[in-house]
Amino acid sequence: MSDKTELKKYPLSIRNWPEDDRPREKLLKYGEHALSNAELLAILIRTGTTGKSAIDLGRELLTKFKSLRSMSGVDISEFKEICGLKDAKIAQIKAAIELGRRMMSEEKAFHGVVKSSADVVEFLMPLMRDLKKELFKTLLLDKGNRISEVIDIDMGTIDRVNPSVRDILMTALTHQSPAMILAHNHPSGNIEPSEADKQLTKDLVKASLAMELRIFDHIIIGENAYFCFADEGLIEEYEIEATK
């Protein structure tokens, strides 16, 4: 159902609307698929404010952010720019969006041995592509090359993250993981590694070999695209350099 349908002239309080037009009652009677995005947001928002119904607030959100996906990773301060959205309402919206992102990741999650970078990317893409700040993750592998843990190491700024080599290696040692895959996102969408990305990876490969650990890959997530250090031959290059 389109949000662009002609607006009905109803009292601002949704409780005074005909039952079939109230978002919550409509969902329970016809199912969630019968509701527009604004109506679904209205259920999360629950109540309106002076001069605005919950659906009006939902429409304002969609006008401001253009899509549900674009609300992901947006700073809370941007939500507060909409009059009538307070902390509780914002928290409910953010929680629902995060659940949606995690559901997408679960659908892409794989079981068994990690065989390629594509396996990992399918899992990480819905979790990381819309983040507005750089996030560095470590995927710990067991002896059978199965992912045992996914750990957030550091959250940075819009164009930089500075994870500690020591913290990354200590994470692997603490969980008794013999190998790991590194991953971070570029909010700009540009997947080319920076010199800092290359140096960090090189330092980690060298340090991990000294500790009898392995760095299998470092993946950079962009806008529906990714860069893979292993696929580009850089992990092998760094390992050879470290053993000379």
Q: Does domain 111-243 have CATH number 3.30.565.10?
A: no
pLDDT at position 86: 86
The pLDDT value recorded for residue 16 is 62
Q: What is the pLDDT of residue 1?
A: 45
Q: Give 221 or 36, the one with higher predicted confidence.
A: 221
CA–CA separation, 146 and 123 (whole Å)? 13
> What is residue 7's predicted lDDT score, i.e. its pLDDT?
52
pLDDT tens-place string over residues 37-80 = 888 999 888 888 877 888 889 898 999 988 887 787 778 888 88
pLDDT at 19: 61
**Residue 106: what pLDDT?**
63
For residue 114, name the pLDDT band (cuts at 50, 70, 90). confident
Tokens 């396996």 sit on residue: 119
**Spatial CA neighbour of 12 closest among 62, 59, 60, 50:** 50
**Mean pLDDT, rounded, of the chain:** 85
pLDDT band at 8 (very low <50, low <70, confident <90, very high): low
Of 10-19, 40-49, 77-86, least confident by mean pLDDT is 10-19
Of the listed ranges 109-113, 168-172, 181-185, the one predicted with least confidence: 109-113
Beta strands in 50-178 (DSSP E): 135-141, 147-155
What's residue 83's pLDDT? 86
Question: Which residues lie across from 226 on neighbouring strands?
Answer: 221
- For residue 33 the two structure tokens come to 């698929």
pTM over 0.85: no
Backbone dihedral angles phi then psi of residue 194, each to the nearest 5 degrees:
-80, 170
- Rounded CA separation 237/73 (Å): 35
Domain assignments of the chain as residue spans, ordered by start: 14-104, 111-243
CA dist 149 to 10, 47, 130, 140, Å? 51, 40, 22, 5
pLDDT band, very low/low/confident/very high, at 4 (cuts 50, 70, 90):
very low
CA dist 165 → 169, 170, 202, 207, 215 (Å): 6, 9, 10, 8, 12
Report the relative pairing of strands 179-185 and 214-221 from DSSP bridges.
Answer: parallel
Helix, coil or strand: residue 181:
strand
Q: Give 204's Cβ-side CA count (13 Å radius).
A: 31
Query: Do the beta carbons of residue 147 and residue 141 sit within 8 Å?
Result: yes
Q: What is the pLDDT of residues 115-152, one digit of tens each?
A: 888 888 988 888 888 888 899 999 999 999 888 888 99
Tell me the pLDDT band of 94, cut-offs 50, 70 and 90: confident
Reading the block at residue 99, the tokens are 């659940």
| Lowest-confidence pick of 14-18, 87-91, 153-157, 164-168 | 14-18
Whether 96 shows a pLDDT value over 80: the answer reads yes
